[in-house]
Amino acid sequence: GAVVSQHPSRVICKSGTSVKIECRSLDFQATTMFWYRQFPKQSLMLMATSNEGSKATYEQGVEKDKFLINHASLTLSTLTVTSAHPEDSSFYICSASPVAGGPQETQYFGPGTRLLVL
Amino acid sequence: GESVGLHLPTLSVQEGDNSIINCAYSNSASDYFIWYKQESGKGPQFIIDIRSNMDKRQGQRVTVLLNKTVKHLSLQIAATQPGDSAVYFCAENTGTASKLTFGTGTRLQVTL
């Protein structure tokens, strides 16, 4: 149980285009989903917290107009990187916290999405 | 700001030996700690967690120790195996909307 999927697993796009990444909780409902970014050989940095039916909360320094987050249901959150540039190339990872069961703080992570912007 | 950090960026151990990965945290308000394992190109995998009202918790081949006095967390892996090779992250939660702060990570290399 507690499986989180991401799609796509990797994407290559041209500079200036937008890319959408999906995060799904497959066997549980998630009150909250989180989006992280990880550069090579670095730790995970939280970008934003996404709550179903409400606006996402962005961490300091993360542009909300560039990284659009939609959490339309208890099993799906999407991150859209708008007008992507080479510096946005990174490993994007989502996580989800169950509605019920387990510690409130429990997060289950997706497999990540590798974004390369040319 | 507050941060979670690790003492050793890389740890090399021989197969069969025990591994100890350390983590220092600075937020005294943190009340929940988690260790994650991340293999190359994959998302973090939950290993074990511990709450601040405990100082030790054991799982299968893994033990987490928490020393709140010196704000130190460690992960012990018994009889380390080649499949344990990965980057290990500690993470702390202060109870604020389940947000986790990750440490810098330690790469564990298991030699045969």
Cross-chain Cβ contact B43/A107 below 8 Å: no
Contacts B99 to A, Cβ<8 Å:
34, 46, 49
Cross-chain Cβ contact A57/B45 below 8 Å: no
Cross-chain Cβ contact B45/A109 below 8 Å: yes
Are B98 and B50 in contact, with CB atoms under 8 Å apart? no
Task: Name the residue among A105, A94, A6, A30 with its Cα closest to residue B34.
Answer: A105
Whole-angstrom distance, CA of residue B78 vs CA of residue B64? 11
pLDDT digits (tens, 9 = 90+) for B83-109: 999 999 999 987 666 788 999 999 999
The encoded tokens of residue A70 equal 């939609």
Say which residue, B76 or B94, is predicted with more confidence: B76
Cross-chain Cβ contact B102/A44 below 8 Å: yes
C-beta contacts of A42-45 below 8 A and 24+ residues apart = A42/B104, A42/B105, A43/B89, A43/B102, A43/B103, A43/B104, A43/B105, A44/A93, A44/B44, A44/B89, A44/B102, A45/B102
Q: How far is B60 from chain A (nearest CA, A)?
A: 19
Portion 68-107 of B in contact with A at CB < 8 A: 89, 93, 95, 97-105
pLDDT digits (tens, 9 = 90+) for B9-58: 899 999 999 999 999 998 888 889 999 999 999 999 999 999 999 999 99
Minimal-distance CA residue of chain A relative to B88: A43
Greatest C-alpha distance within chain B? 43
